[in-house]
Amino acid sequence: MANKRVHRLREKLAERGLKAMLISNPVNRRYLSGFTGSSGYVLVTEQESWLLTDFRYMAQAPQQAPRFQVVDHGTSPIDAIGELLSAAGHGRLGFEQEFVVFSDYTAWSESLSGTELVPVSGVVEELRVIKDEQEIAVMQEAAELADATFAHIVGLLKPGMVESDIALEMEVFMRSRGATSSSFDTIVASGERSALPHGVASSRVIGNNEFVKLDFGAYYHGYCSDLTRTVVVGQPTDKHKEIYSIVLEAQMHALDHIRPGMTGVEADALTRDIITRYGYGDHFGHGTGHGLGMEIHEAPRLSRLSQTVLTPGMTVTVEPGIYLPGFGGVRIEDDIVITDNGIKILTSSPKELMILG
């Protein structure tokens, strides 16, 4: 696993005229090395790949990153990095510009006075966009755990429950079945709060005859799932039924038509055009979807601004919504993989309007 990823990273660095790169982002560090510890750096050159960490991980790191040279960086990681670079004869070092704060940059510049620090953007993230078979298999399991969580919680939902209690029950269910945590702060938004696109669980008590929007995911073996379903507790009004049916039509249309070679803008239009045609375009303010993987929000985006071309191996969400302030909102979301001919849907929870007692 690691050798292929490091090899691809070296190819990316060569395109930028670089022979050495320091990885400080913990997610990218894990992606390249497999190391799950809380502290460390990956240093990659043309010939070598090092994992630098501290004494706490000297037993763990070689087990998780067997294809890396593990170095105890001691009390000064940047001094240890400088020694390795000097021995390898490299005078230019790429670094992840989005993840290095200015104080670190100035300290590194002083410690690595003979090294040119070169800011680099998104080089590992470009690799992460396309998932391999192993990654997709883990994401499938994470999606199945989210589906199981939804099936569990709809068996419990009823008027009088508190949103935060529902979120806690979902978290316990996921963690008891192998998840490290939830993928993000679980959204349980009922009644008028369901009109909040990111209405995380609150102390609100669920009433009768209202929407409950559930948006959640399992962080499982280093990868995220992301599922949204909206149900009605009690009896739905005609307005509930109307906006739910529109969102469902839009989401199903997108799932039927997303294909490789399509841009993010074109994919977004598959849902947005339908919702706009019904007169609710102003109430769908976010994009149709986003990439997901080791992080809950990754490239690419399915949005009105995204010119990214969808490519086999990309994993994205499809999640149109309608949000009516003072009334409530609906979002329906699935996780998909772009394939050679279309898509594979990872999540499978039912999507017909579910009416709970």
Q: Burial level of 39, CB count in 10 A (0-12/13-18/19+)?
A: middle
**% of the chain residues with pLDDT over 70:** 99
Taking alpha carbons only, the member of 158, 145, 151, 269 closest to residue 219 is: 145
What angle separates helix 238-257 from helix 264-277, to the nearest 10 degrees?
150
| CATH, domain range 2-128 | 3.40.350.10
Over residues 74-127, the pLDDT tens digits come to 999 999 999 999 887 788 999 999 999 999 999 999 999 889 999 999 999 999
Q: What is the mean pLDDT of residues 187-210?
A: 97
- Pairing of the two strands 298-302 and 223-224: unpaired
Asked if 61 and 2 count as a contact pair (C-beta separation under 8 A), the reply is no
Q: Which two tokens stand for residue 100?
A: 């290095």
Q: How confident is the model at residue 1 (pLDDT cuts 50, 70, 90)?
A: very low
**Single-letter amino acid code for the residue at 299:** A
DSSP per position, 156-175? T--TT-BHHHHHHHHHHHHH
Quote helix, strand, coil % in the chain, to nearest 5.
40, 25, 35
pLDDT number for residue 91: 84
Asked if 297 and 290 count as a contact pair (C-beta separation under 8 A), the reply is yes
Over residues 254-299, the pLDDT tens digits come to 999 999 999 999 999 999 999 999 999 999 999 999 999 999 999 9
Using CA atoms, how far residue 66 sits from 33, 60, 90, in Å, is 8, 10, 24
- List strand residue ranges (DSSP E) for 86-225, in order: 92-96, 116-120, 181-182, 187-190, 210-216, 218-220, 223-224
pLDDT number for residue 114: 85
Lowest mean pLDDT among 90-104, 226-240, 331-345: 90-104
Overall fold of domain 133-356: Creatine Amidinohydrolase (3.90.230)
Name the residue ranges covered by the structural domains of the chain: 2-128, 133-356
Q: Which two tokens stand for residue 232?
A: 């009605």
Over residues 23-36, the pLDDT tens digits come to 999 999 999 999 99
Asked if 301 and 291 count as a contact pair (C-beta separation under 8 A), the reply is yes
CA distance 325 to 185: 22
CA distance 58 to 141: 30
